[in-house]
Amino acid sequence: MTVVQETSTLTDRCAVWLKDFEKAINTGDSALMRDLFIEESYWRDMVVFRWDVHQHHNLKAIEGALFPAVADRKPVNFEFDVNRPGPAISEASGVPMVEFFCTFDTEYGNAKGFFNLIPDEAAPYGMRARWFNTALYGLKGVDEDLAQERHPGLGYDDDRGPITWGDYRKNQLEYSDRDPEVLIVGGGHNGLGMAVRLKALGVDTLIVEKNARVGDNWRNRYDSLALHTPTDMSDLPYMPIPKAFPNYLPKDKLADYFESFASQMDLNCWTSTEFLGGEFDEESKTWTVTVRRNGEERTLHPTHVVFCVGQSAGRPNIPDLPGLDTFAGPVMHSTKFTSGKEHKGEKVLVVGVSTSAHDIAYDLYHNDAKVTMAQRSPTSIISIESANLAYGNYFIGTMPQDEVDQRFNASYIYPLLVEGLQGYTLMTNEMNKDLLINLEKVGMKLDVGPDETGWLMKFIRDGGGYYLNVGCSDVIVEGGIKIVQMDDFDHFVPEGVLMKDGTVVEYDTVVLATGFQKLEVQVADLLGDEVAAKVGKITGLGPDGEVRNFIMPTGQPHLWFQFGGIAEARKSTPYLAYQIKANLMGIAPTLVRQPDGSLKELGVRESVS
């Protein structure tokens, strides 16, 4: 332990702390670690000390995971990150905190750290760490071309030979003389983000997208759809959204941005292409997959397959509602709903009260339909202004986006996330108190989640069960849209719904805003029940607090999943891209996740890092 002078500045004390941390982990010094950390401390590692994303929830667990990994990773050269603010005192829930950023090197790459410490007069440094994050930011020997300076080529002095650029791109897209190293299923925001990250690392990647154009997964939805998350946090990697775009993007403008992104970044994408299935050969460690492109089947042999088809499988969830098949009017899932203009003057029942249900009901209301929303389970409601407080650093204008991304990734440590979201939810519920009281008065059932963590934890766990109010809630309070409870339904009849009190309520149309099937259902359909069983549940939080099967090795070798909101296509994709590239380089083994969450190398019994 290095002696810290009482007159030392905060920066000096943090510098001493950091050097002693480097010493402690490299020597396995538990006594020194107890000078550095409180017992109830936390660590989230993103592909630095293990080819995985994992977190640990006390000092003993941290030591148990960190100390054994050091011999292989060889972490050295811990220094303050010159591209981040220096050590500073901040505040969380009224408690002063010291935070600082660092960089360091490992055997396989360059890494960054973010540390959060609390004052402790008994500690040699006057503070002890409560939590920290480590994240890989580059592989040794690999230049991320798209992240560097502009290419020095003039546009006509390249090495393509006598063919034009257009012919070169056409040949690249056809894959007539090669197989892609990585096949990405789905050309939405996550597929695009994943593909461009892999391209930057020099990985030959092909996207297969079932729609006719990139962006059609947004274009083909209901006309009134717009993002409920602000544009300032919705950029894809390397190509920010123009500042001229509005704060909340309408779906068609967002779709055009995605299509332009795929074109401008020269991503290899086959549209009108359906992924039909595949099998993995454990000996060659490659896939044999079949796709149907413009009606013709094609077999490919990628080394890795990445599913980027959204947090849900994209397949409508049609609930078994008693008597619905007897209803005389049109019944459609929200994916088939286009515009309220087509239902002017109709009596429409919208089943569901999450975001799509509210958007559709609001659109119907503005087109003079008589709208009723049927609630199946409690929901969380919050104004969009209050919701955006959770993303405040993206909007204050003083912090670069990559720093905000780093802070967000670092903060996804489950106990701390619960603690922070409980405080945030208390605050926003108070801000929205009048609205929530009035919604309950008109019959809506509200909740804040099982642990009072509100809408944002619902998004993380399930991707739904909430609504960010952009006006529909106010219409509900005013009586323009009615709320009924499905518990009061007996069954559907040709004219509408027979209620349990014996009355019949007539409807002309029923819209099922009932979400989508889980991704594991599509995995079973496309890759078989055995593969689906190996992978297990996708999405939701696992025992350690990480999202299950998200940007990490799964129970099926060389099968990966990337999903979530648009920001995740920028924040999370690097860590999956590094794992895949490292495997292709031969420095990361093929890992298989076991039912208990541990990893083993394909063909090797013992657990590995």
The model's confidence at residue 247, banded by pLDDT at 50, 70 and 90, is confident
Pairing state of beta strands 37-46 and 76-80? unpaired
Mean pLDDT of 155-177: 79
Residue 328's region, left for phi above 0, alpha for psi from -120 to 50, else beta, is: alpha
pLDDT at 53: 97
pLDDT at 167: 85
**Termini Cα distance of the chain:** 29
Question: For the segment 419-454, what is each residue's pLDDT rounded down to a tens digit?
Answer: 999 999 999 999 999 999 999 999 999 999 889 999
Question: For the segment 518-568, what is each residue's pLDDT rounded down to a tens digit?
Answer: 899 989 999 999 999 999 999 889 999 999 999 999 999 999 999 998 999
pLDDT at 606: 43
pLDDT at 312: 53
Cβ–Cβ under 8 Å, residues 112 and 81: yes
pLDDT at 605: 43
Q: Provide the whole-model pTM.
A: 0.93
The model's confidence at residue 109, banded by pLDDT at 50, 70 and 90, is very high
Mean pLDDT of the chain: 92
pLDDT at 157: 57
Mean pLDDT of 195-217: 96
Mean pLDDT of 218-241: 90
What domains are there in the chain, each with its CATH number?
10-139 (3.10.450.50), 172-313+520-601 (3.50.50.60), 318-514 (3.50.50.60)
Cβ–Cβ under 8 Å, residues 276 and 526: yes
Cβ–Cβ under 8 Å, residues 572 and 564: yes
pLDDT at 287: 98
For the cut 90, the answer to whether the pLDDT of residue 477 exceeds it is yes
For the cut 90, the answer to whether the pLDDT of residue 461 exceeds it is no
pLDDT at 48: 98
Pairing state of beta strands 599-601 and 591-593? antiparallel
pLDDT at 226: 87
pLDDT at 70: 96
β-bridge mates for residue 273, sequence order: 293
